Amino acid sequence: MKVAAIQHDIVWEDASATHAHVTPLIAEAAGAGAQLIVLAEMFATGFSMHPEKIAENEGGLSEQFLRNNAREHGVHLIASVAQRGPDGAYRNNAIVASPDGSVQRYAKIHPFSYAGEDEKYAAGRDFLTVEIEDVRTTVFVCYDLRFADEFWVRALETDLYVVVANWPAPRVAHWSALLTARAIENQAYVLGVNRVGEADGSRYVGASALIDPMGHQMTEPIEDECTLFGDVEPEQVVAIRAKFPFLADRR
């Protein structure tokens, strides 16, 4: 499966403007043959702690944007959106939009308490693993990356982990190291997609990456807006786990 990581800037708290910005980037990635295209965390608004201002109802404008682009281009799209659930609670939901128009959601299990996200957005409880072009894909959001045990739970059912993020420049070394660690310890591909640009006093330098199941970088870290491409082969996951059956020893 050919994947594309769109490492994009975001117009702060302006979903419509950001939709216009990323529309041609999605079209270009689809035109290059990508079957799975991934955008950043809170891709339309930035990592805003004002959900009362930027959150949309489930099924709202940004979710429809992802759904429509997935259908139009015949691709799968993943990105996260600030949403209000039927219970009235705000959540940082990763959206998986499929070419058939269907949508699945994963609510971020670990809101980023350091920035007060836990005070604004409810924590999710359930994992999401979907089969995309025969690749078992598990979705996480940003701060979830620091919690290895969540990844371990899904390892045997996962070929590819996708992590969407707004991970700031001062801790970008952590981002890169943790992406690699999650790939090595679970013997799976990891695709991490981080934003670029500046917003609300933070600077973001991308460093999006595709890591193979042996922990090798399949892409070069870039600080500017760009689209990174790579191939995910579930057969490699099977082969590496058979050759090095470390997961069987996990308690």
Active site residues: 41, 108, 142
Joined together, the tokens standing for residue 220 give 């070069």
Q: How far apart are CA 160 and CA 87, in angstroms?
A: 31
DSSP of 98-163, one letter per residue?
-TTS-EEEEE-SS--GGGTHHHHSPPP----EEEETTEEEEEEEGGGGG-HHHHHHHGGG-SEEEE
196-199 vs 202-205, strand pairing mode? antiparallel
Q: Which residue has the tokens 């975001």?
A: 10
What is the greatest pairwise CA distance in the chain? 51
Instruction: Write the CA distances from 204 to 196, 201, 209, 228, integer angstroms.
Output: 5, 10, 14, 17
Helices 15-31, 61-73: axis angle to 10 degrees equals 20
